[in-house]
Chains A and B, each alone.
Chain A
């Protein structure tokens, strides 16, 4: 499948001769071939659980795509997900807030489930941690539904349970009015978090305010996720997470899935974001929250010409990042935890919390 790829970093020789970079552009990171090879070997054993892909939104805007054979217009298609070593994918069901959010969310769920059903050789719906493992072992990309927008719950626990019954496994709490209270959560917000715990729906804190993150971490009995957040200490972006919260995440045993989105990871003013910046963020989160609380979130699912981080332009690029981390002397155990272990553990533990006490 790799021969279908047209990616400059998949093969170092493709960029080897580029010695005069256009002025103003950052130097393109080119991981050593030996590290990329090791990265591929590692990924073959421990695939990536990716926290956030917005393909479903992109499919709203564009009509013609051949995801099975590849689409030059998108940064995500099945050949590139496979080349990237992705074994499990959270498909975002985000919709704009408003008076048709429930309907739009049901539309999204239907679209993603139809997409999964239309690619049975590549994708398989996963509702549990065991489903993730089974799908991986069958060579399928485990597809998890989520997050849905918290604003699409209509303040209704019944609607939350209906989404869960339709397969949704995470809810993004950012932007809801029940997280707008001074102490971070209204009583309804607390009840919703408890109900998510009871159902085994992950609470996704990416983009939430600091008081909300604090309050959710007080209330929740299950590990939380940050589906697409980088370190606020390195890049002060509203969707990034502070060191204080990262330290609390360590106690909660949740996972912060580091976003590759350029505006969230650019560390150096005036310089475009690169793979090195992402590696810096991953290292920072590992240092503060611990190696068992860090994961990856490509934040792909956009048009090819949307802004991307240099070196991580599409869903096939994860080996480049792993190669860089190997270059920085990460242990294989830490890399396995980063790619698959941590996120899969959080899904499993959230399920264990949901299971009634025996």
Chain B
């Protein structure tokens, strides 16, 4: 098949089985770049060059479901983190109210299917980091009540009850309170997201969770040795757990040459007084200057497909998905430049002789099944009372 024919095939496949993407940081981009002023960055219009995400490109990309991240920076703590998370949730709710013909609020797997049937992008919320609940299970329940359907246990820094992949070992995985957080999430029907957490935390969470877990945006550590990726022994546990690892596109996690380049670029950012994840225009200019001097290795859809091939081998076709991390990363693969580009990835998989059924599981069926299974576990646990445990009562 020619490239054009493959792309056409990919688009037709996505029309029936659109992508349910695990992670998109549009809310944070709107906070940083527009102060939540939705008139300043109107996603009904083409925002190419300013955002990775807008409605026309979501449509072009065949996106049928999106977990919008209500991320707040992990150097925020206490009430600042909680309050900023509430603002992020509010931002998603305002987007849903503003674009009702394109974005459909979704809390359950049924809602996601109904959104597909009505031709809208099912919109779910995911919190990124346990710092968003400030060590409080009641705050966790409040996030659930406000529609949050997954929580990543940590972001780049440890929380008092869970270790992050990109921090020093703390409690060595999950503490007793950390395990209670997982159990309470099971009871509520909120997915446990293991992206960003240390491998020790992944293993503890898999041993604790009664419901399937997700990796909302993580790739394979065997293919590219970066702490943000999932080791094979953990991937191999997913069939027993029923969960799904959603491959991410972030070049500095998936391409070994980019891992090394990013280390150099981050040093440069710090030397100029910026946080390496800063996406303000000033920081981006510093980044661009560095890039002129030291060309950035470019990942492609083939790089992502290499990860998917390996993850399918280890975890099985029923346990992989897609979590692009658009608007959460400064750089993207060359041919996966924004949310309109999912057909390029699907075309690459078709070229690698993935079957239509396999691709439908990857894009649509697997994430739906995980949502549905987590809902079933929550119903089964309905007689369990809300947990009143505290960090102090369990961890001393």
Contacts and interface: CB of A to CB of B under 8 A. Distances in A.
Interface of A: 99-103, 106-107, 109-111, 114, 154, 156-159, 161-162, 165-166
Given A106-B136, A110-B141, A166-B146, A99 B86 contact: no
B79 A154 contact: yes
A100 B142 contact: no
B83 interface: yes
Residue in A111, A114, A159 whose Cβ sees the most chain B Cβ within 10 Å: A159
Contacts of A109: 138, 142
Interface string B334-356: 00000000000000000000000
A100 B138 contact: no
B134 A100 contact: yes
A166 B139 CA distance: 11
Given A107-B136, A114-B386, A156-B86, A101 B142 contact: no
5 contacts: A103-B139, A154-B83, A162-B86, A165-B93, A166-B146
Given A99-B78, A100-B134, A165-B93, A106 B142 contact: yes
Contact of A111 (B82, B84, B89, B138): B138
A242 to B, nearest CB: 34
Given A103-B139, A106-B136, A162 B78 contact: no
A101 B139 CA distance: 12
Contact of B90 (A99, A106, A114, A162): A162
From A102, A107, A157, A166, residue with most partner B Cβ within 10 Å? A102
A166 B80 CA distance: 19
A158 B142 contact: no
Nearest to A111: B138
Identify which of B79, B88, B136, B141 gathers the most chain A CB atoms within 10 Å of its CB: B79
B386 A166 contact: no
B181 to A, nearest CB: 14
A110 B93 CA distance: 21
Interface string B55-94: 0000000000000000000000011101110111111010
B90 A161 contact: yes
Contacts of B87: 156-159, 162
B82 A106 contact: yes
B145 interface: yes
A103 B79 contact: yes
Contacts of B80: 154
Given A102-B86, A156-B87, A162-B87, 14 more contacts: A102-B82, A102-B134, A103-B82, A106-B142, A111-B138, A154-B80, A156-B86, A157-B90, A158-B91, A161-B86, A162-B86, A162-B142, A162-B146, A165-B93
A103 B146 contact: no
Given A103-B134, A106-B136, A107-B136, A166 B83 contact: no
Given A103-B136, A106-B138, A107-B138, A158 B83 contact: yes
A109 B139 CA distance: 9
A161 B91 CA distance: 10
Nearest to B136: A103
Contact of B89 (A101, A102, A103, A162): A162
B30 to A, nearest CB: 12
Instruction: Give me the 7 closest cross-chain CB pairs, A-B, nearest first.
Output: A158-B87, A110-B138, A162-B86, A158-B90, A154-B83, A102-B79, A107-B138
